[in-house]
């Protein structure tokens, strides 16, 4: 569920502090360090050969992340009908990802994303509607792509069922999380579809009901204005031609597919890999667990799940496997997570200063 903030006189992002970026780094490094301490084998790195080929595929992994963000930027321009420039879109996406990186995964940056878009020039209701449409498209990607890929591979291969007792229990937990997560995503997508395309007034009613809560009551009038704008924006989105939605979903497809190709590229940097589709689908399954992580940006849990769920794809001996896998998990986070902390730490203070700090005339 997205939190919509409207009509706020004070800085609504004051709880997001740059110093908070240190916490996910500490948590992530702590998990990596702990596993290294428990499982470290100095001979493990003998099986890894770092070459120009490795540099090439690591570069490709960064390119996939860049393509992911470029897809997000294109989608934002499509949904705002080019009201945001590429520079503004880049700024919004980086701030959005920075917020997601330092907030618990269960909340992410989505709850403050309408503010980022609003402060770049769109009205509050349109900004909120754009964020809701992005959520709808993201969930639509998952609920469509995941079952299609399950047709290509078997569920038993995806969840690793029927192996050793330890792995089997872990796999059963993954299976359960995926079933529950898929159901929640499906229900949320249906609700968004109904609210945005069939009954926006019902969505406004829900919004007003939420802002009756004591902690949110002071923003009730702003929420009412936002709800009215959402109705207008929803009608506008509902009447968009098929080409508009194909572009919007196409950019969504580019973004998420690129994101889930990063691990494949990193594995190719050091090993010979055959089961690319299975690795890709397992990353979709991993994203379910990352969503419920209580830590900022899924720090710690992401590294742990990586080692448990993708370890079988590393062609190394059992003694070397734990060390190699956690090293690769750390490299994966360096490519896909830590850059947003750095970029956000640079952009966020300047953006806050330009949008919320009043200048002397």
Residue-wise pLDDT for 324-337, tens only, equals: 888 888 888 889 88
Residue holding tokens 């449409």?
133
CA distance 112 to 176: 30
Cα distances from 204 to residues 110, 187, 192, 224, 264, in angstroms, run 18, 18, 12, 8, 43
Distance in angstroms (rounded) separating the CA atoms of residues 338 and 28 = 10
Which residues are 296's β-sheet partners?
104
Classify residue 265 by burial, with Cβ atoms within 10 Å: 0-12, 13-18, 19+: buried
How much is the average pLDDT of 126-134?
Answer: 83
For residue 70, count other CB atoms closer than 10 A to its CB.
19
Six-digit token string for 287: 């994203």
pLDDT at site 1: 41
Q: Taking the CB of residue 52, how many other CB atoms lie within 10 A of it?
A: 7
User: What pLDDT is recorded for position 261?
Assistant: 93
**In the chain, where the domains are located:** 18-352
Which stretches of 40-123 are DSSP H helices?
52-79, 86-102, 113-118
**CA pair distance 119, 351, nearest whole angstrom:** 10
- At 39-69, the pLDDT tens digits run 655 565 666 778 899 999 999 999 999 999 9
Other Cβ atoms within 10 Å of 360 Cβ, number: 3
What DSSP string runs through 284-313? HHHHHHHHT--SBTTTTHHHHHHHHHSGGG
Question: How far is the CA of 168 from the CAs of 15, 266, 285, 358, in angstroms?
Answer: 41, 26, 16, 58
Give the distance, in angstroms, between the CA of residue 143 and the centroid of all CA atoms in the same chain: 15
pTM summary value: 0.80
Q: What is residue 55's predicted lDDT score, i.e. its pLDDT?
A: 93
Partners of residue 247 on adjacent β-strands: none
pLDDT of residue 272: 83
- For the ranges 123-127, 179-183, 203-207, 229-233, the lowest mean pLDDT is seen at 229-233
For every residue of 55-77, DSSP letters joined together read HHHHHHHHHHHHHHHHHHHHHHH
228: CB partners within 8 A, 6+ apart: 125, 204
Q: Point out which residues pair with 104 in neighbouring strands.
A: 296
pLDDT, residue 113, reads 83
Q: What percent of the chain has pLDDT over 70?
A: 71
What b/e readout covers 174-212, taking b as 16+ CB neighbours within 10 angstroms?
A: bbebbeebbeebeeebeebeebbeeebeebbeebeeebe
> pLDDT tens digit string along 101-127?
777 655 566 777 888 898 888 887 788
User: Of 168 and 311, which is predicted with more confidence?
Assistant: 311
- Looking at the chain, the number of H-run helices and the number of E-run strands are 15, 0
**Which is more confident, 43 or 284?**
284
For residues 241-254, average pLDDT: 94
């Amino acid at each position: 569920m997205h939190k919509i903030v409207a009509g706020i006189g004070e800085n609504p992002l004051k709880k997001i502090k740059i110093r908070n970026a240190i916490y996910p780094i500490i948590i992530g490094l702590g998990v990596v360090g702990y596993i290294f301490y428990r499982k470290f084998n100095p001979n493990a790195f003998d099986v890894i050969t770092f070459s120009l080929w490795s540099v090439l595929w690591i570069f490709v992994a960064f390119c996939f992340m860049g393509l992911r963000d470029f897809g997000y930027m294109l989608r934002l321009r499509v949904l705002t009908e080019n009201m945001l420039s590429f520079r503004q879109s880049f700024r919004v996406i980086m701030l959005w990802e920075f917020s997601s990186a330092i907030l618990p995964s269960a909340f992410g940056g989505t709850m403050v994303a309408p503010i980022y878009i609003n402060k770049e020039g769109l009205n509050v209701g349109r900004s909120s509607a754009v964020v809701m449409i992005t959520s709808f498209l993201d969930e639509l990607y998952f609920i469509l792509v995941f079952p299609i890929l399950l047709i290509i591979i078997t569920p038993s291969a995806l969840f690793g069922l029927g192996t050793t007792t330890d792995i089997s229990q872990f796999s059963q937990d993954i299976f359960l999380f995926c079933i529950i997560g898929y159901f929640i995503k499906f229900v949320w997508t249906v609700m968004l579809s109904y609210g945005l395309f069939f009954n926006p007034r019902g969505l406004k009613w829900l919004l007003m009901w939420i802002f009756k809560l004591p902690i949110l009551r002071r923003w009730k009038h702003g929420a009412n204005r936002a709800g009215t704008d959402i109705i207008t924006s929803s009608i506008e989105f509902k009447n968009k031609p098929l080409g508009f939605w194909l572009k919007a979903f196409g950019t969504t497809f580019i973004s998420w597919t690129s994101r889930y190709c990063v691990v494949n590229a990193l594995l190719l940097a050091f090993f010979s890999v055959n089961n690319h589709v299975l690795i890709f689908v397992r990353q979709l399954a991993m994203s379910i667990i990352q969503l419920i992580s209580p830590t900022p940006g899924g720090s710690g849990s992401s590294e742990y799940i990586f080692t448990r769920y993708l370890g079988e794809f590393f062609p190394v001996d059992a003694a070397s496997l734990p060390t190699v896998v956690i090293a690769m998990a750390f490299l994966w986070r360096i490519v896909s997570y830590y850059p947003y902390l750095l970029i956000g730490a640079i952009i966020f203070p300047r953006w806050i200063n330009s949008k919320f700090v009043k200048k002397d005339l």
